[in-house]
Structure 1
């Protein structure tokens, strides 16, 4: 009769590297003393002369493969398990609208559910007017935001951000980020292409921001002008 190899996996077979090791586990020192042959002792076990339920080689290998697959799946599930996100804004007393908006978006940007682009216009440390577009999710991954939420530092555009403009020196830069490609030569104005879903984010205040995107201007005591562009990349 053909062995049933579709039975549920038996994780006990994982204890043995080979079928021969499995057979050896059922061979006693007394067997070896009388038979004087390990190979013969294995054959007697396999043929059932030792009693008990003994797997055939084919069934052993099938169950071992199933056990290894189950073990690999469990390890993969553990490695992909979503870990709790540590929020820099947690426990902070936030009074300004800008910091509150940052906090509201922090978890979604850290987890990848959202990729926000922040437009900021204000004066730098030497009084020059600067503006720029910041990839919030990228900044969260590359620097500590606790000083921003604590009020020790102000989030400001940098030359390394998506776009930067110093209106006094006329210096301007643009850089693609891990989340967005900058499209600066578009005839209708500046665009950002999301690298995950390839959807276009339009930052023209007179145009629709694009599919799965919203535009939210904010009044803030910290800056001259702030606008949040939120792009939803996934819902779960």
Structure 2
């Protein structure tokens, strides 16, 4: 399976011995010709005049993550991909749950190393989020695709909620700042569904893994694009065949739920 851009980005950092080498990689011969000073050219890069750049602290942290112990690495097509959660001491239940699912959602497959806790809801409200959950109920011959529901407040104090295709986001975003709690994972207008309760702005988009179903009388649904099975979001109904719904108690968010869908490998 193709490596994610995040994995390639992490691996690239390991080729730089020190932060100055990283800055030098963004300095061009033309810069040196006009500035006549490598140190000044580095300063311009560091201050963002040549485009987005990592701070010294971010560089050191991400390079350390890229050089993390082997347990933080999985292999796809014989190439190493670094997990954004590798080496992190996670305390929040939500971040722990994301870390449990990261490898499976990146690779698309369950492995012996995946230890995923889930609650499979049949009907009625979700179980107590502090109650013990089942460990990895999906067979290893399946591919895991997870959806994240988040309800919380944005920096403007507006309540927003939405559904995020975890596997898709992992391919398009660097999750290391989320696992380090330097940034907060929030739904956006490009995700599966987004709603701002203050402005009443809403959006929905099908992803590479799920199609949004709008016209069902029972409410919003997601259809998996690979096996065509339906994921039901209604907490009073079962999540659907080969799916589970897990409500998590989080100190970082008002309300978070994880939906796991297992696609049987052919």
Shorter chain as normaliser: what TM range? Answer: 0.5 to 0.7
Alignment of 1:74-223 (within 5 A): 81=77, 83-112=79-108, 113-223=143-253
CA separation in 2, counterparts of 1:158 and 1:100? 22
- Give the TM-score normalised by structure 1: 0.64
* Structure 1: tracts of 5 or more residues without a match: 1-79
Maintained 8 Å contact 1:85/1:110 = no
CA separation in 1, counterparts of 2:160 and 2:93? 20
Which contiguous aligned blocks of 4+ residues in structure 1 show a shift greater than 2 angstroms? 80-85
- CA RMSD in angstroms comes to 1.5
SS of residue in 2 equivalent to 1:137:
helix
Maintained 8 Å contact 1:85/1:107 = no
CA separation in 2, counterparts of 1:134 and 1:184? 16
CA separation in 2, counterparts of 1:84 and 1:189? 41
Report the CA distance between 1:234 and its aligned residue: 3.6
- Give the TM-score normalised by structure 2: 0.57
CA separation in 2, counterparts of 1:167 and 1:82? 46
CA separation in 2, counterparts of 1:85 and 1:209? 31
Maintained 8 Å contact 1:87/1:107 = yes
CA separation in 2, counterparts of 1:130 and 1:91? 31
Deviations 1:88-137 (A, max 9, x none): 10100101001000000000100112110110000001000000000000
Report the CA distance between 1:163 and its aligned residue: 0.2
In structure 2, relative to structure 1, the CA distance for the partners of 1:84 and 1:232 (3 Å cut) is farther
Deviations 1:126-183 (A, max 9, x none): 0000000000000000010010011110100001000000000011110000000000
SS of residue in 2 equivalent to 1:164:
strand
Deviations 1:33-62 (A, max 9, x none): xxxxxxxxxxxxxxxxxxxxxxxxxxxxxx
SS of residue in 1 equivalent to 2:81:
coil
* Structure 2: tracts of 5 or more residues without a match: 1-75, 109-142
Deviations 1:215-235 (A, max 9, x none): 000000011100000001246
Greater Cα radius of gyration, structure 1 or 2: 1
